[in-house]
Structures are given as structure tokens and as C-alpha cells.
Structure 1
């Protein structure tokens, strides 16, 4: 039987291929199944990511960890010396106002002025990295800052805090204000459900803002609401350029900086969010109101824009929504509406508060309704507020004036700071985040100030022994101004301890005025004289007798003759011995000699007529303050400079037949002219025309002839009207005869006189006159250009010296010119000793006080003497601390200095002994024994007194005195205490009332005696 064959199409014939097909289908089904699984997994992952993202958006858990970690790494600390890593902000209203952006310039200026960086903030590498990315450092920013000046003991001398009104804690901000703020600006900021939430970003709000912006770009209508949270708004108006968001990149920078700042204290931002609300309320910019300027913060805005009392307004606002409030509804409604209006004006403060207050009224009313609808305020408060109109003021009130004592104690420091930092005014200074430590002792200053003020009372003046001859036997004590300053020697620097007066005016008598301090000028004259003696000693002390005897000395040069004679008769004489001998040189005190000085003939008198017949030593004349001895001593000083100064003119004029005469004279004219032109150029360069003219006229004796010549010579193109105005301003009323101005204008035309004659008539060096006129037409000239332009003038000034005719007249003019040049040398010496002004009137009367001075400058000379001839800085600023507790903190202090020797030590010692003699036996005897140390030892006190009787005098023909009018009267006592302290006391009365006083320098000596008990605590037992 044959096997059966499979029939095509039958099932039995397909069993093997079917199995294979089944096996092939199975992987395909698995692949499809895995694709679904993968898709489901991806979907689950996406859902998980979305959930995580939503959770992150709600809670900020991831941000909190990372940003808190970043904030922990971005740190700073104060380290000694300059910081190589410190970075300062470039812009931002907050950083500009507090001075952070200006710190690089401030530091550079201070270093150039003798300060050094004592310590500075060192930034961590992470903080440097973030700053390089443009992210602001995260630190606890100050809601209030300002200038603070403290004394040596830490007591506050001056302090400002800007803004003036602010909230110290979040809890201090009325709930009604907080609720209104978060409702308007940032409703999620205080949501406590998510303690790690990033308060810098509200994602839903940011999304709406982004969509709105996109629609606006597309040209569609869209809501203009912003996406900024309170945190980013603070970042914007504090640290963005001009307080604006200029680009999307700037917005991202704001958000990043605000985010980092929120986590600076850790992951939990609950406290940070409350601080954000507090910072916003305290630092929101709300336009500017004259005269107060920029208005910052809700507190100042309530006070300035509404005239509201800050404390009372807050008291009202704390119960604004409470039914049991002690304040009536209208009062609460007004306070609430004012506060709400200021919150709402933040977006456009100048528009709402200044340009269109009605728009602010409408906006405020709208939000009152919205707040009531949301249940944030009761309806009765809403209705009462709607019925109340906003009462904005157009300008704020002036700031309350500081007490006079506070102004005075800190005034000089503030003035110094403005100059040091290159600021334009006190407004900018007082808003800096700056703490200043001074050398002043506030308790002692207050004590001295109280005593000086008390002396205005006639009864207290009587108790103090002031109602006596040469004191206040006549005159009203209440009209007198007293000033007192005290300094302490230190290593390489002196310290101001007290600077006080009894005036209510802001002017500082010690530094801010130019006074006639009378015979205190004898101290400067004596110092110059003794320095000349010391200079001659150093020149001749090593020479043999024969050499010294062969030296030719001009008969008029009596100082050189004296030194040579002493060294011949006493070989090996040391400098202290020579100085003692110099102090024993004797002069006549006779007032009957006529002195040709200052371009004219003069007579001088002594205060005490009993001295007129005496011949006194220099020491005795200094002790008793005898004028004529010092007039003659100054004449010897002038003659020394004429005959012995390098390049002396007199040395070139000895032999009129010398064939080299013209060559010498031309060389002299050119070289001397260059020297003097350089000196004058330094004096006038950089000044405006009016300043140059004023500086010139300060060195001219006030007579019609001299002033007219100076004005015409310095300004040849000046028309008559300008001349008339200028000469009237320079000369006191009554000193010009009616109609004389035209005659003076024509008579002293520069065309009528040579340059040399112009200088002779004006009593001013001719080249100084020429330079002032040249600078008027060439204000930007250089010294080299001045030399090139003046070659003819340098010769012409001395041209008359070449003629052999009219020798007597020439000699007189030569003498006048040589005196002017000699006083330039005197002035150079005085300036080295701290003399504050840029010229001296070339007259022998300078020796007895015709040249003005300042008490502070006189005290500086006393400090040089106390320091053995070293001139060291007199400090009032001991330390400057900028931006304390910030990443920009910089502390500066005066750099150590060894001082500059401006006087031989032996000269300083001789001057000190002479000053002690003035107190022990002379014009300051009232101060003798006044100061006693704790162990009963009398302190060693030295000093010099001076009385200034400043008058306008009018003379007639032949020198007849027609009128003498008192301008002011001063009396001064500059003093030393032991080897440690020095200072100055001044009494001053200004105006016609000065004629009613007859006090002398005994008055400040008596004031010193009255103040001595306050000073005694400074004098240590066993010192001296």
C-alpha cells in the first residue's frame, strides 16, 4: 500500500512552517510590548519630572540646597593691608549713595594725601567668580547708613542716618502696611507653607509677564503688569544702573543676585522673606523733594510728602483695621490712604508724587476698593479713605539744624573730608557709609565749650577776674567770641584734642578766618632771626680766626658781623651758646626814628611808653613785647637777606665802574627774574582772573595810589567802569575823594610808566604785575611759555639800574625792590613754619603783626617748637572706616611719618625757653602757675601774646591822620605745656562794637587760667 501524500492546501501539510511562523511572530510582539513599556516609562519619567518641577517651583528644595551652598562659599573677611581680591560695584543708586562705587577714587585720593590702607575686605574665590559674572555679593545690606564721627573715647561728635525714619524690625511695620504691600506687589512672599521657597521668583507671575511682553512685541493689547518680586525690585533699585531694568540680561542678573541673597543664611527663607518686606519698605525710592533731596523709604516719604509724624502715623496704622481702635475712623483712613498711596507710587514715583498727584489719587481709590473686595480691609475704612483726599506737599521742610556744639566739633572734620574725598558738598558726604575716628576728646571739648560760653555772662566774667585793666573793664562780655585749640605731641604726628569756641555761627575761628594776631608775629620773627644765626654758624664755625677776620661784611649786615665777631672772640662756640648770645643783642626801643619801608616813610610806637627810652636785649623785648626792638630786628633780617642771600642783588651793585657791571646786571636780571617768575607762577597758576587779582591786591598796601597802579598794571585793558567798581571794593568808604576815580584811572595808565615804575608805585614786584596781566590773556600758559614771553620784561624791570645818572633816586628804588625780594625770603621761611597765606606785605611792620595770620597756623609753629624743629602733620582724623561689615569694607589711617626738619633743634630749644620767659616774667604772666599736675607740680607753660587792633585809617596831606575806624580787635595767646601739649587761645570782637573794648593779650592769658583746671587732668604727675 502506498504512503499517503500530503494534499496541497490541507492542514497536515502546513504544521512545520506554522511553528516557524509562530516563532518569528513572538519577537515582534515582544518588541511592540517593550515599546509600550518604554513609552510608558518615558511618560512616567516626564510626569515625574513635571511633578518634581512643579514641586520645585512650589518649594524650591533643589535651589535651596544649591544656592545655600553657593552662598556659604561666597564669603568675605576683613584682613590687614590692601586686598588683592576686592571688587567694587560700578553703578547702582544704593551703591553710589553710600559711596561704594566711589571707593576706588576715595582710596586713591586718601593715599595721595598721606593715608594708607590699614585693612580691607578679602573676597573668597567663589565670591570673586560670582562678581565676575555680574552677580551682586550676598550680604546683610544696610537700610540706613551715613556719616558718623566719633572722638578718641568713642563718643559721637556727629552722626547722620539716611533715611532719617525707618523700621528696625519686620514686627515694627504695621500689619496694614504689610498686607497692602504684598497685595499690590508680591502676594506669595510671606506664604509660610513652603519654608525653602525662593522669594526672588514667582513663576506664575513671571510667566504672565513674559506672555504679556510677547503680546506687546507682537502689537497686541496686553496687561502691562511686571513679573518682578519684591526681592528683584530691591535688587533693581539698589544695584542696577540708574535703578532700571535695561535688558533681559539685566533682569536675569537681578533674579540671580536676589536668589543668592535670599539663601545667605541657609535653606529656610522664612526670615529672609520677612527681611525682604522690611528692606523694601525702608529703601523704596520715592522721588526727590526740595530742599531735602532724594526721598528713600516709606518712613521719610510719610514725613516729607505728607508732613506726617512717623511715630504717630505708625501708632495709628497698627490699629487701622481694628474695630476697637482708639483713633477715630477719619484719622485711621487718612493715615492708611497716605501709606497706600506711597506703596502704589513706587512704580513711577516722580510722575505720581510730583507731576500728576490726581492720577495717584485715582489709583489709590481703585486699590482701596480691591483691598476691601479681597477682605484685606474693612468696608468702613475703605469708604472713609475714599472720602479723604490726598494732601501731598510740593516741598519738604528743611532738616532740623544740628546743635551749634555738634556743628563746631565736627565742622572742621567734615570740611576736611569733603576736600580729601573730592566731593561737591556735605549732602553727598553725609550719606556715605563712613565711620570716622578723630583725635578729639569729646568730654574735654564739651567742658571747654561750656566754660567759654559761660564767660559771655557778665557775672561769670566778674567771677573769673575779667573786670580789670587790660581785660574787660569796658565792653559787653556777651559780644566777645573766644576760641581755644589744644594739640598733643605724638610719635611722628600731633593730635588735635580740643577745638572749641563760644560762637553760634558755623565759621571756625581757628581755621576759617584771617585775623590780625598782633605781636604773636614776634615769635615768627624771632624764629627767622635765630635760624639765620644758626645758618651762619654752620657756614663759619669751622673757619680759623684769620679767615673769619678777612671776610668782608657789608656794614648794614649786622647779623653776619655779629656771628663772625662772636666766632673770632670765642673759638669753638657751639650753636646753643651762639643763640644765647644772639638773644642778648641789644637794640634801642626809641620810637623817634623814621623808617623807610614798604615804599614809604613810617613811624612806629611801643605799647608801653616807659619802654621808649630803653635799650633792651632781644630776649627782654620778646618777653615784654616791645615793638621798636622788633622793628629794628626785622630790619637786620631784611638786610641779611639783601646782602647774604645767594644771588643777592646788592652784591652786584657794589662798584659802579666795574666793566663787567652790565654783564652782571643782565645775568642778574634774567636769573632773578626767572626765580621770581617761577614763584609768582606757582602763586597764580590755576586761579581764575578775579582770584588772581584778589591775591595780588592782598599784598598791596591799601592806598588809592598803590591800588590804582596795581589794578591798571595787572589789567591794562580794564575800562573805567570796571576800574571804578574794583577800586571802590578795595578801598573803604571815605578813603576815596569824590570823583577821584577818573583821575586815578588816567594818571596810572600803564602806558605812562615803565614796568619797573609800575611795580615801584604799586609796591609789588614788577614781574608779579606783568605775570598777572599776562595770565589774563594767556590763562592756560605753561611756565616755560612764561619764561619765553618774559625775556624782554626780565631785563626791562632792572633796566634803570644800568644808568649812572640819578644815583640817589636809583638807590632808593633799589632799596625798595631789594626789600620786596628780601621779604620773599622771609615769607619762604615763615611758610616752612606753617604760615597759611601766599604773600607778606613787604614792610618792617610785619614783625609786629601787620601781616594777617590764623590761630591754627600759629599753633602749628608752637608744635614745631615743641617737636624740636620737626614739622609733623597735625591730625584730627585718626581712622576712616568705609562700608563697614560689607564686601567693600576699607579702613584707612594716616601713614607713619618721621616729619620734616624745618628748624634746627637748638633754635627750637631757644625759642621754647624764650616762650617760658614770657609766661614767667612777661606779657603772659597771668598764666604763670595756672596749671598744676596731680602731684601738685606746676606745669611748665610757655607762650607768646599778641593784640590786634585792626583799623581803617585815612590820611591827609603831609601824613595827617584824618580818620581812624575800628574794624575788629583780637587778643591771642599761643602756648606750650611741658613737652607734650600746645595750642592757642583767641578773643575776638568784630565791627564797630570793637571800639568799645580796650582788652589786651592779658585777656587770653586769663582765659587760659580759667580753663587750666579742665586741662590739669591731662598733665601727668612727675612730668615736665
Structure 2
């Protein structure tokens, strides 16, 4: 052979050798993954992140994926935006390595050790757990806890080579033979579009898919590649050896595989929750049945075999259902049963299960549970504080439900003190027992002398004042329902309103001092001659005569100012004439100082004080209120009368609309006719007003129908038809003739042509009619009637200004009842709002934010970790310090000498000294009262009974304690505000450890 030929033969042989070597290398790599392990583990070791102070310059948040959405990772940008707008600042945040950052920006899923379980955790002030939810709820804590039968079954179905021990470096993200089959099937599908393609995903890539791919689905080849690459790199995070990782993949898959959603449970993830949600099977029991068939030498009984077989069949069905969970678990359970039976035979044929288990499982019947898998009952009493925190978190994060909140990967640090919380809750729960209540001194006159103690709801809130904020340390009650009476109810808290009234009274005194305190006698005399309200006149006269013109001196004089406590006077307020009584009739004939009246909670003094406050605001708000009332031609008078007509007319229309809405035109006409005395002319008026276009025959038929048996001749019918034709009488006159309110007549007519009109449409259409119905009011010869209406509106305007002052100090509602009775509780309140007012008073008039949540830690241990904390802020001055000091002294007097004197001396400091206490008591006997003509009492029905004590303890602590009985059962009780005061005294030993804690030095605030 020529030299040339040998050379070519040699080259050809080398090529064959290279090809053979490459084939052998590829085959070896497919089996062992050694080269992948070397390259990918070195690459993955640079995928790092750390947590640094402040906002991170290198953080990426996912935008899709069920796992990222459920745990809140995808919503972190919106959470951060909402929280920073609400007064939080980023304290710490994850910072990604350049390699991990680059990988994510190129489309990879963030590679780190992901959590299988997560959920909301609330911590108390010391870091102890107040509340914790974990989702999924039932998981395998480790690979070793998974029954081998479950592992073997899963691998047979999904990933048979995953745990092969011969190749420790194996890449769990790829099974090459399955991948090759899928590639071939893809090619075949091009020519045969209807061909079904077998899944090529390993467990590792399935986890990537259902966690991170949009909607948990593989949308295209690019998505599949992203899953494979991310799963491969995740497998080598800890080095080339993937033995432990592959076991973790099995555990993670079993714990997190999605099994659609179940009504009453929500989304179902993982085998454990799936068994409970779909079959009602206990996870621990199932695992015990599947671990070992029986001890050596013993045989299982027939019932045990059946239970084991059913447990295995349920597990197998859920492992298979993961392929199409909504179809198999919601749409076609029969298809799932058939598929499960097919796999039982395949598993037995492959030797995964024995024939006995196969036959018993085939005989077992798969039945989904019929009842809703409701969660275990939870005591609302025990969770009251935690539920209050959770409810506050919803608007802070912009979430619609607790369901979504509880599934976030979030830890929240609160200000609550869990040991004291539990101890107080324990006391409140035992108060259902009369014998226990008696040991605490809660029985006796004006306490629990009558009524079932089990019906009394108690609520206790305690806050601690810090330099920049108020900490909520305790929030407990014994109401085993979601309602929080401390913050969520509108309650008649009785004489606690006197505290707000006293503050308003003293604020007016401080305002007058600011205006006139620097003036000389001549200037003060000029002011006095122009003043009309009692408070301005008093302040000016006092300043003119006083040697000490300081604000503190004026406030002391205001507390010494005297009022009559007589109930004999009648008061025009709230649009009518009222009488008021004192709690203790011994006060009826006395004249006393404001300080004494506050100490002993004397009603009539505060009624008269509120009258002076209203007069001050009327004088402040209206130029020449006296002239307005004196002069019938005053230009502002008509404006007030028009306002009255509009307001009262709207009130009447709303009342009538409630009766008429939903009725047909005929029904509306018949209802109106049924409300008048049966007289021919009145029926004529309403018919011609309501149906002005009806002909004479229809009119006649209506009259004869309404007055059967009456001899109604045609001439009379014709005369009435013409007499009451449209336009003959105005609306007010027609109402008078028919003896119905003109606006009821108008509404019945309006609904003839607008039967489906809404309330707002009806009110918008009645503007002119409301004024027309009150045309009589504008006649100057009715001046006394006009004066009554004008005074009512002036009073309402004054209460609008008083309401603004109350709101500035934390009053929680949108309006006040425009009546002097607001001074003794008619406008209601909330214990929490009273607590906020007490905090202002204790803090020298500075309003501090009330804080329950200090810190939120999202996604701890992930590349998304973000911690936010409250940023420090400044207190808001809402009350003069001199006013706050004066009120504190008055509150202390109540506890030492007044209605709360039983509490004095209850708390002692570590040095043995008595801690001073101050507070205000209030008792609300809320009744539904109905009067008839001449103010005759028709009905007085008890709605609820409430007693409250708002207090401070020393210089740091303040709060409220409330006793409440809802419903008509409240009529059985006679307790007063002495009950909550006595309960606070009884709780003193329980609260003492909290009082002994170190005072906060810096408090994060809004």
C-alpha cells in the first residue's frame, strides 16, 4: 500500500478513535455527571447573598410563580412602597453577589435553599411567639421521616433514577433517557399534531415549574430550559456531591406538590395537607400505617390490612393527581380512581408493592370527604391581641384577607408583653364564675349583685408611654368572638364624656387667655362690653381683677368656677326641650365647683358647662348671633331657614322612602291612602296629586273603591276632580288638605313615574319640593317658630366645631349628637380612643403615635430578605401643657377622693412607695326610648350596659378597662363604673411585673 494510503487509513483510525472516545465520554457523563458537577458547583458557589444595612443596590424580586406569590415575594415592592408611605423605613435588605445578580437578569430563577414551609409569625416585645401559622401545615421534617414505601412509589411514577447511590455527582435535574424520548416525541408531533407526549420533567424541574414558572406551567421550550438550568445549579449549591440534595428533592416535592384548592381550606400543597383536605385522613396515622407492615413474626389483622391499603391508595392517588390536579380532584374523580387502580397493578408488577397490598388496595374505595375541611377551633379570647395585629397589617400591606396574610413569609415584631397578656386573659376567662369574681371583690352593691357574671364582657388595654411613641403592652378581653369592643364597637361610655368636656372647657379658657391675658383693664373692659357668651365674659372679668394673670392661674380659676347641680331647669337643646337628672339625688340642691363636679361625676354641672361651651362656639362662628335671633329681617336668617328645611325635609324623605321603596305604583298609592282618615276630599287630594293625568272615570272608580257604600253622585265627583286639579294648590296646601306630610305626598307621586329610583336619585329630585314644603316657615309672622329652628342650627354648627376639637384629641366618630347630653355620653365613644386621650394628657399635651408593630421582616434567609422598622418622628402638640397638667390633677383627685377612690393605693413601686393613679369613670345605660304626643313615654327598652374606667398609673402607663353586657339582658344588671375600677385593683398583682420593667429609651414612631 502506498505511503499516501497508509496515511489516510491512520487519519481515519484517529477520527474513529476520537468519535469512540467522545461517545464513551458522553455516555460516562450521562451516567455520572462528573463534569457537570465540577463546572456547575464551581459556578454555583458564587451565587451568594448577604444582608446589609439600609436599602440594597442589588436586589431583584420575582414577578411570577405561585410560590413567589403565595409567600409574598412577588408583592414585596408594593409592600415596601405601602409601608414606607406609612412611616416605615428599610432597615436591612439582601445584597446579591454579582454572579447571582447576573444570572437572575439573564432569566434564571434565583438559586438558593428555598423554604418548604412559611407563614406569618408575630413576636412579642421579648421575641416570644404570639402567633404562628405554617403552610403547608403537615409536612415531612426530613427525608428519614418519609416511609420508604412512599418514596419508592413516588420514584417509580416520576423519577426512577433519582436516588441511585452509584453516582454521587449525578445531576437530579436531568434524566437523559426520558429527555431523549421527549425530544423524539416532539419531532414526531410535528407530523402528527394529535400525538400525546410523555412528560420529561424530573422532580427537580417539576418543583421549579410549579414554584416559579408563570401560573405554575411550562409555556414553551425556553421556560423548560430555564427550569432545567435553575434546578441544575440549585442542586450543586453545596458542592459536587448531590446525594443529600436528591433526598431533599424527594422531601420537598412531597411537602409542596400543588393539589388544587378545596373549599373551606384554600390552596392545597403537599401530601400531608392533601390527605387531610381531600380524604380527611390524619397524616401521622397514614405514615404510621405505611412505615412497617408488622413487627417480625406477627401478622397484620384484617382491619389493619384494610386501613393500610386505603392509606396507601389515598397517597398513590394524590401523587398521580399532581399531573392534572383540578381535573382529577374537582372534575373527574372517577378518572383518578381508574388511574390509581392501573398504577396499583404496575407497582405490583415492578415489585414496589406486594400482591397482598395490591389486592387490598384495589378493593378499597377512594372517596373524597364530603364535609369542608374546616380548621381546628381557635379561641378568639386567646388570639384577641394577635387578631388585632393581623387586622392592622391588612391595610398596611394592601391585602384583602387574613388568608393571604397568614401565608406570607413574614415575621412581625410587636410591642405586646405576652406573659402579662396570657396572665390577664386567664383572669378574664375565669370571671364567668361568680365564686371567682367574688374572690376579686367584684360582687356587691353597684357591682355584680345581680345578673349572670358569664354574660359580662371585659376588655383591658394597657399602654406604656415612651419618648417618641406609646407602646401597646396589653390588649385582652373575654369575648370569644372576632369583635374587639375596645376598638371595634360604638359604646355609650357615660360620664367618661365629662373628661372630653372638661378638656374642651379648659382649652377654651386657654384660648381666651391667649387672646386677652396680655391686655390691660381698659382694653379688657372694652372686650367685656362686646362679649355675649358666658365663658368669654367670665375670663375677661377674671383677668381684669386677678393679680396672677398666668395661664395656670386662669385654669385653676376655671376649675373653681361654680355651677348649679339643680335638675329643675328645662334645657332647649337637640331641637327640643329636655330635663336631665343627677346620679346621686343628694347633689340636686347644690352649687359646686367644676373640680368637685368632676370628682363626683355630677351630670347637671356638665350639662350647664356644655351649654356655655356651645354658646362660646356660637359666638365664635356667627357674627352677631344675638342680632340674627332678634331681627326677623336679618339677611342671614333666610339662609338658616333654608338649611333647616333642606335638612329636616331630607330626614322625612328618608323615612318615607324606607316605607315606599320596592312598591309598585298602585301599591304606593294604596299605602298613602291607607294612612289617612277616610274622607272623600282627602282621597281626592291624594289621587289628583299622585296621578294628575288620570281621567274622570278612573278618579271616580278610586273614590268609590276607597269609600264603599257611600253615595257619591257624579256632580260631586266632577266638582272634586276640578277643585283639586294640578296647579290649584301648592304642595304644602295639598299636604294640609290631605292631612299628610307634603313630602310623603310628593314621594308617592314621584314613585309613580320613577318606581325604581334610588335614595340618592330621590333626594336629588326633591330639592325644590323640600323648600316648598316648608314655605310656611319663611313667613315673618312665625318668628318664634323660626327662632327655634335657627337656634337649633346654630347649636348644630357649634357642635361641628366641638367635634373638630374632640377629633384632634382622638375622638373616633364622624359627628357628635348636637345636644348638651353629649357632655354625659350621648355621642358614645370607644375605650381605645379614650386611652389615646389619656396618653395625650399624661404626655403634657403631646400626641404620640400608638404603636403595636415595630418591625416587619420579610423573606428571612432568602435573596429577597427585607426588614422594615418604624422611623423616628416628632410628637405633635395638641394640648397646652398647662391644660394637661390641670386635667391630670383632676384625674388624680377622682382616684383619691371621688368615684374611683377604691383604686387608690393599688399599685406599689419596687421601693415600696405607692404609685399615683388617676382616672375617670363612666357608666352607660343605653336604652331605646320612644315618646308619643306630649312627650309621653311609650317605650323604654335596654339595649346594653357599659361601665368604663380610663386611667393612668404613674408616669409611664395608661389604659382603659371596660365591662359590657349587650342586648336586653343588660336590664338584669346594676353595675356601675366601680366594677372596672375594682377589676383593675384586682389585676394589680398581675400587672406589677410589667410596671417593674425598664422604661423604653427610644421608641420608633410614624
TM-score range, shorter chain: 0.7 to 0.9
> Which residue does the alignment assign to 1:618?
594
Q: With structure 2 as the length reference, what TM-score do the two structures score?
A: 0.86
Per-residue deviation, 1:262: 0.9
1:1015 counterpart SS class: helix
Question: Which runs of structure 2 are paired with 1:835-846 in the superposition (5 Å)?
Answer: 835-846=811-822
> Which is further off, 169-178 or 715-724?
715-724
> Which is further off, 973-982 or 48-57?
48-57
1:273 is the counterpart of 2:246: yes
> Which is further off, 789-798 or 524-533?
789-798
1:634 counterpart SS class: helix
> Which residue does the alignment assign to 1:413?
389
1:856 counterpart SS class: helix
CA contact 1:521–1:848 (8 Å) conserved in 2: yes
> Which residue does the alignment assign to 2:141?
168
1:266 counterpart SS class: coil
Aligned Cα RMSD in Å?
3.6
> Which residue does the alignment assign to 1:127?
100
> Which residue does the alignment assign to 1:776?
760
> Which residue does the alignment assign to 2:697?
none
Question: Which runs of structure 2 are paired with 1:468-479 in the superposition (5 Å)?
Answer: 468-479=444-455
Distance 2:677 2:430 in 1: 49
Of 564, 570, 581, the residue aligned with 1:588 is 564
> Which residue does the alignment assign to 1:688?
none
Question: Which runs of structure 2 are paired with 1:915-954 in the superposition (5 Å)?
Answer: 915-954=891-930
> Which residue does the alignment assign to 1:232?
205
1:140 is the counterpart of 2:80: no
Of 79, 94, 97, the residue aligned with 1:106 is 79
Of 322, 325, 350, the residue aligned with 1:346 is 322
Deviations 1:564-605 (A, max 9, x none): 122222266121111111111100000000000000000000
Of 840, 864, 870, the residue aligned with 1:888 is 864
Per-residue deviation, 1:794: 14
**Against the structure 1 CA distance between its residues 324 and 305, is the aligned structure 2 distance closer, same or farther, given a 3 Å change threshold?**
farther
2:420 counterpart SS class: helix
Distance 1:713 1:86 in 2: 60
Deviations 1:20-39 (A, max 9, x none): xxxxxx9xx65555444444
Distance 1:983 1:957 in 2: 45
2:583 counterpart SS class: coil
> Which residue does the alignment assign to 2:90?
117
1:404 counterpart SS class: coil
Per-residue deviation, 1:991: 1.8
Distance 1:210 1:254 in 2: 16
> Which residue does the alignment assign to 1:650?
625
> Which is further off, 77-86 or 630-639?
77-86
CA contact 1:649–1:818 (8 Å) conserved in 2: no
Structure number with the bigger relative contact order (C-alpha 8 A, sep ≥ 6) is 2
> Which residue does the alignment assign to 1:528?
504
1:454 is the counterpart of 2:454: no
Deviations 1:629-662 (A, max 9, x none): 00000000000000024x556277388499xx64
CA contact 1:291–1:398 (8 Å) conserved in 2: yes
Deviations 1:444-465 (A, max 9, x none): 0111111122222111222222
CA contact 1:518–1:946 (8 Å) conserved in 2: yes
> Which residue does the alignment assign to 1:242?
215
**Against the structure 1 CA distance between its residues 127 and 103, is the aligned structure 2 distance closer, same or farther, given a 3 Å change threshold?**
same
> Which residue does the alignment assign to 1:51?
24
CA contact 2:732–2:773 (8 Å) conserved in 1: no
Distance 1:831 1:387 in 2: 71
> Which residue does the alignment assign to 1:690?
none
Of 141, 160, 181, the residue aligned with 1:187 is 160
Distance 1:210 1:752 in 2: 88
Of 304, 308, 313, the residue aligned with 2:281 is 308
> Which residue does the alignment assign to 2:33?
60
> Which residue does the alignment assign to 2:660?
720
Deviations 1:424-474 (A, max 9, x none): 222111111111111111110111111122222111222222222211222
Of 443, 457, 461, the residue aligned with 1:481 is 457
CA contact 1:933–1:1021 (8 Å) conserved in 2: no
Question: Which runs of structure 2 are paired with 1:414-563 in the superposition (5 Å)?
Answer: 414-552=390-528, 556-563=532-539
> Which residue does the alignment assign to 2:550?
574
Per-residue deviation, 1:122: 1.6
CA contact 1:541–1:572 (8 Å) conserved in 2: no
Deviations 1:806-853 (A, max 9, x none): 443333222111000000001111111111111111000000001111
Distance 1:65 1:900 in 2: 63
Q: With structure 1 as the length reference, what TM-score do the two structures score?
A: 0.84
CA contact 1:147–1:433 (8 Å) conserved in 2: yes
CA contact 2:637–2:790 (8 Å) conserved in 1: no
Distance 2:19 2:478 in 1: 82
1:358 counterpart SS class: helix
Distance 1:128 1:741 in 2: 86
1:82 is the counterpart of 2:22: no
CA contact 1:525–1:634 (8 Å) conserved in 2: yes
CA contact 2:945–2:970 (8 Å) conserved in 1: yes
Distance 2:280 2:352 in 1: 27
- State the number of aligned residues: 925
Question: Which runs of structure 2 are paired with 1:978-993 in the superposition (5 Å)?
Answer: 978-993=954-969
Distance 1:1022 1:50 in 2: 74
**Against the structure 1 CA distance between its residues 623 and 221, is the aligned structure 2 distance closer, same or farther, given a 3 Å change threshold?**
closer
Deviations 1:483-520 (A, max 9, x none): 11100011211111111112222211211211100000
Of 602, 606, 614, the residue aligned with 1:638 is 614
2:199 counterpart SS class: coil
Distance 2:931 2:407 in 1: 54
**Against the structure 1 CA distance between its residues 482 and 739, is the aligned structure 2 distance closer, same or farther, given a 3 Å change threshold?**
farther
> Which residue does the alignment assign to 2:132?
159
CA contact 1:715–1:776 (8 Å) conserved in 2: no
Distance 1:843 1:208 in 2: 85
Distance 2:538 2:662 in 1: 52
CA contact 1:878–1:894 (8 Å) conserved in 2: yes
Distance 2:38 2:597 in 1: 85
Per-residue deviation, 1:802: 9.1
1:1011 is the counterpart of 2:951: no
CA contact 1:833–1:902 (8 Å) conserved in 2: yes
1:823 is the counterpart of 2:799: yes
2:45 counterpart SS class: helix
